[in-house]
Structure 1
Amino acid sequence: MYDLLVVGAGPYGLSIASHAVAAGLRVGVFGRPMASWRDHMPRGMFLKSEPWASNLSDPGRRWRLDAYCAERGMTVRHGEPIPVEVFAEYGLWFARNAGPEVDERMVTRVVRSPGGFEAVTDDGEVLSARTVALAVGVMPFVAIPTALTGLDASLVTHSSHHGDLDRFRGRDVTVVGGGQAALETAALLAEQGTRVRVLARAGGLRWNDVPPPWERPWWRSVRSPLGGLGCGWRNWFYAERPGLFRRLPEPTRARIAATALGPAGAWWVRDRVEPAVQVLLGHEVAAARAVPGGLRLDVTDGTGSLGTLETEHVVAATGFKPTADRLALLSADLRTALATGADGTPEVGRDFESPSHPGLFLAGLTTASGFGPAMRFVHGATYTANALVRGVHRRLRTGPALVPAPTRHGTSETARP
C-alpha cells in the first residue's frame, strides 16, 4: 500500500512526489510526464512566465530550470521567454532525477476503501493508498462556449487540443478568445500561412509590459516588487503568500481567482499579432452551424448587431473551468459529496486536503479559489508541494478516517483498519 498515490505527472504532481519521497513516504506517481506540455501545445510556443518563476520544486532546489539549461549549454535570462519544448524536456529531466520513477499508466478511477483509497489504472490494476493527491492539470477542465458545443471536432476544437497546427496550413481559421493562448495560436497560424482572425469579446486587447530589469534601484523594487506572477504588490501577494490569501473571505477569494491576471498577451507576441492577424473586438459567437466547407457563425458586436461569418475551423482559446463535477476519475459517491465553494470548485483546507474526504488532496488549477492565482501557474507548485506533503504526514499520523465497509449482510458498518 502506498502512503501517497499522486495522480498526474505534470509540474505539480512531480513536485509533490519529489517532496514526498524526500520526507520518507512510500509514493507512487502515475501519468504521462509533462503530458500537457508535450502533447497539447504546438511547437513554437513559449512560456509566458519568467524562467526563474518556472521551476519545478524539489526540497534541495537542485533540479531547477537554470541548472537543466546550464547542463545543456543554454543560458536562461530574465526577460527572455523559454520555448515550451525546452520546458517540457526540463520536466522530464526533473522526473528522472528528483523523485520516484513515474508509472506512465493513467489512473481511471479513484474510490474509497477501508484504510484509504483504491485507484484503478487503465490496464485494470487496482492499487491501494492511504492518501491520494489529484494533480490532474488542466485537460479535464477544457471550456468551450455553449454556442460552439456539439459540433464535430473537424470543425471546432479547443486550443489545448493541438500538439501542432500543421493541419491548418492554407486554410481559414477563426480563433475565439483574447488571452495569451488565443493570440499566440493566431500568431503561429499566420506565420505558417493560415488565413486567421481573432474574435474577442472584450473591447480591447491587453498586453503585458516588458518586465523591468532584474537589477534596479532599491526604491523601484519597494514601489513595485517583482514576484513570480509579475510586478506590483498585489501580484507579489498572489505569488508569494498563498497561505495568507487563503485567509481572505471565500467570496473575495473566488472573485480574485476568476478575475485577477485576466486575458492578456505577452509583450513578445504583440509584434507578431498586430501586423499579421485580423482582430475583431467586441464580438461574440451567438450560434454556429455546419455548412459546406466549414461553419457559419452568427456573431454579435458591441452594439448588439448580428452578423455572419464563414470559416473552415474554429479554435476556442477559451480557457478552463475547474469545477468539481469535471473530476470524472473520482467515483460518483466521492465526486457528488466533494465539498465545493460557490463557484463549484473543490474546497481545500490549509494543507490542500478536502474537508469532505479526509486523505484526498488536490493540487493545481482546482485550488485557485482557495490559494489564489499562483495555482494557475507553475510557480504555485513549490508552495503546494511543501504544504500538501505536510498535510499527508499529518493525516498519516492521525490515521485514516472512518469509512463504511460492507458487511456479510449487505449493510455497512464503520470500520477502522
Structure 2
Amino acid sequence: MIQPVAVIGAGPYGLSTAAHLRARGLPVRVFGEPMVSWREHMPAGMVLKSTPAASDLDAPEQGHTLVDYCEAAGLRPLVTDEDLVPIETFVRYGAWFQRRLVPGLERERVVSVATASGGGFALKLGSGERFTARAVVVATGLTGFAHLPPALAEAAADAPAAGPPAPVTHASRHADLSAFAGRDLLVVGAGQSALESAVLAAEAGARVRLVARGRGAVAFGAPPWRQPRLRPSSPFGNAWSLHVFSYHPGFYRALPAGARHFGVRRVLGPLGAWWLRERYEGRVTTQEVRAVEGVTRKDEELVVRLRGLNGRTEEVRADHVLAATGYRVDVAALGFLDAGLRAALDTSRGAPRLGAGFVSSLPGLYFTGLPAAASYGPVMRFVCGTAYASPRLAAHLRRAHG
C-alpha cells in the first residue's frame, strides 16, 4: 500500500499546500475543520487587515482567487486596495476553495504523530484509526500559540474551576464581543487584533479602555492613496523592505537567529489598518503605559495595576481584561507531536528550524504558516505567504518523498 502524505490543518496554509501536493500526483490525506481558526477564534464583524489581492489562498491552477469566488457566489467584486474583506466572506471563500481543490477533507482530529519504526510517521486519529504516512505537513495555524504575558497569565491561571470565569482571557477565545455590552472592558495590546477588538466591543455597547505599552504605541497605517509612489509595491504597502520580505523570504534563513526573531516581532508589527482609525477615535479610551504589572479581583471588579510612562503605578478597574497580545510559536504546545519527536526537533526559541522547502531537521516533517516565520520571515504570518510556501514545500516533498 502506498503511504500517503498527511497534512494536519485545513486553514489557508493547509489547504493551499494540499492542493499543490495533489496537483503533483501525491496521495494526500488532509485532516481538520475547514477554516476553523477563522470561524471560531476571530470576532464576528471583523474585517481582514489585508487587501483582497493579499487574501488569496494559493492554488496550482488559475480560477481560485478571492475575486473568482466573489464572481462565482454573485458577490460584489473585491478588486482594489480600498475594498474591505469581511471575515464571513473570507471564511466562505476558504470553504469554496476546499470543496474545489481539496475534496475528501477528513474532519478528524490527529491525536498523535510519532516516528514509525519502518520509516515515515505513525499517526493516530481521534476515531482510533492508525496509519503510516511517508511525510507529515504541520499547518495548524495559530492553534496552541496564544500568548499571555506573565502578569496576565498568572491572573488567568488563578481562576477557580467552579466560580467566576477567568478575569483575563486571550482575544482568540472570543468570537462574539457583544457579550461585553454594558461592561467595563480593558483591552491590552496595540496591534490590529487589539484595536479592532476594542472597536467591535465598543460598537456593541461596552465601555472600552485600551492599554498599550510605549509612547505612540497606537498607530494606524496610511491609506492606499497615500502610499509612496516611487517605491516597489507589496501586499503590505510600498517599501523596499516590505517588497523583499514579501517576495523573497528565502533569504531570511541566512540571517543570524537574533535578527530573524527580531524581524518576526518588529517588521509588519503592531499597526492598525487605515480604515479602522475613524471607528476607533472617540469610541475607545487609550492609555499608554510602561507595563501591566498584575490583575487582582476585588469584590466583583478587577483591579489592574499599570506602571505609567512616568514610572508611577496606578490602578484601574474593569469587569474583564481582554489580552490581544499575539501568538508565540513553541513546538512544545503541539501536543499531538510525540514527546520524543519534539525532543529530536532542532528548534530556535521554540520555533522549528526549517531548511529549504520548509522541511524540519527530521526528514519528512514539514512546517508551514506561522511556525515557519522564524525561518522564512514575517510574511508567513499572513495569508499571502501561501504563494511562496505552498509550491516550494510541495516541490521539495515531491522530490524527497515522491
- For Structure 1 versus Structure 2, the TM-score category normalised by the shorter chain is over 0.9
Aligned to 2:132: 128
Correspondence 1:382-397 to 2 at 5 A: 382-397=387-402
Deviations 1:183-221 (A, max 9, x none): 00000111111011101112111211102389xxxxx65
Letter of the 2:372 counterpart: T
Residue 82 of structure 1: SS of its match in structure 2? coil
Deviations 1:127-166 (A, max 9, x none): 3200000001012100011111214353211111111112
Residue 111 of structure 1: SS of its match in structure 2? strand
Counterpart of 1:100 (choices 95, 100, 103) is 103
Question: Offset at 1:284?
Answer: 2.4
Deviations 1:334-357 (A, max 9, x none): 11121012x3211000111112x1
Aligned to 2:185: 173
Counterpart of 1:331 (choices 338, 351, 364) is 338
Aligned to 1:75: 77
CA contact (8 A) 2:290 2:311 kept: no
Residue 227 of structure 1: SS of its match in structure 2? coil
Distance 2:137 2:270 in 1: 29
Q: Normalized against structure 1, the TM-score is what?
A: 0.90
- Deviates further, 183-192 or 300-309: 300-309
Distance 2:100 2:124 in 1: 26
Question: Offset at 1:283?
Answer: 4.5
- 2:122 aligned with 1:118: yes
- 2:241 aligned with 1:239: no
Counterpart of 2:358 (choices 352, 356, 377) is 352
Residue 231 of structure 1: SS of its match in structure 2? coil
Distance 1:328 1:124 in 2: 17
Root mean square deviation, CA, Å: 1.5
Deviations 1:294-333 (A, max 9, x none): 3111111112211111111110000000122222211000
- 2:219 aligned with 1:206: yes
CA contact (8 A) 1:28 1:100 kept: no
Distance 1:228 1:367 in 2: 19
CA contact (8 A) 2:12 2:386 kept: yes
Distance 2:381 2:344 in 1: 25
Q: Normalized against structure 2, the TM-score is what?
A: 0.93
Letter of the 1:284 counterpart: A
Distance 1:315 1:294 in 2: 14
- Deviates further, 119-128 or 31-40: 119-128
Aligned to 1:296: 303
CA contact (8 A) 1:199 1:284 kept: no
- 2:144 aligned with 1:140: yes
The change in CA–CA distance for 1:107 and 1:225 in structure 2 (over 3 A counts) is same
Question: Offset at 1:271?
Answer: 0.9
Correspondence 1:209-358 to 2 at 5 A: 209-212=222-225, 221=229, 223-341=230-348, 343-355=349-361, 357-358=362-363
Aligned to 2:19: 18
The change in CA–CA distance for 1:266 and 1:151 in structure 2 (over 3 A counts) is farther
Distance 1:136 1:146 in 2: 25
The answer for unaligned runs of 5 or more in structure 2 is 160-164
Letter of the 1:382 counterpart: A
Distance 1:395 1:3 in 2: 14
CA contact (8 A) 2:189 2:210 kept: yes
Question: Offset at 1:73?
Answer: 2.8
The change in CA–CA distance for 1:80 and 1:21 in structure 2 (over 3 A counts) is same
CA contact (8 A) 1:2 1:28 kept: no
CA contact (8 A) 2:183 2:206 kept: yes
Identity across matched positions, percent: 39
Aligned to 2:66: 65
Distance 2:301 2:10 in 1: 37
Aligned to 1:185: 197
CA contact (8 A) 1:229 1:374 kept: no
Letter of the 2:150 counterpart: T
- 2:383 aligned with 1:378: yes
Deviations 1:199-245 (A, max 9, x none): 1112111211102389xxxxx65x21111232211001101111233
The change in CA–CA distance for 1:283 and 1:190 in structure 2 (over 3 A counts) is farther
Aligned structure 1 segments of 4 or more residues deviating by more than 6 angstroms: none
The answer for unaligned runs of 5 or more in structure 1 is 215-219, 398-417
CA contact (8 A) 1:4 1:130 kept: yes
CA contact (8 A) 2:21 2:398 kept: no
Task: Provide the aligned length of Structure 1 versus Structure 2.
Answer: 389
Question: Offset at 1:261?
Answer: 1.1
Distance 2:214 2:238 in 1: 24
Letter of the 1:380 counterpart: G
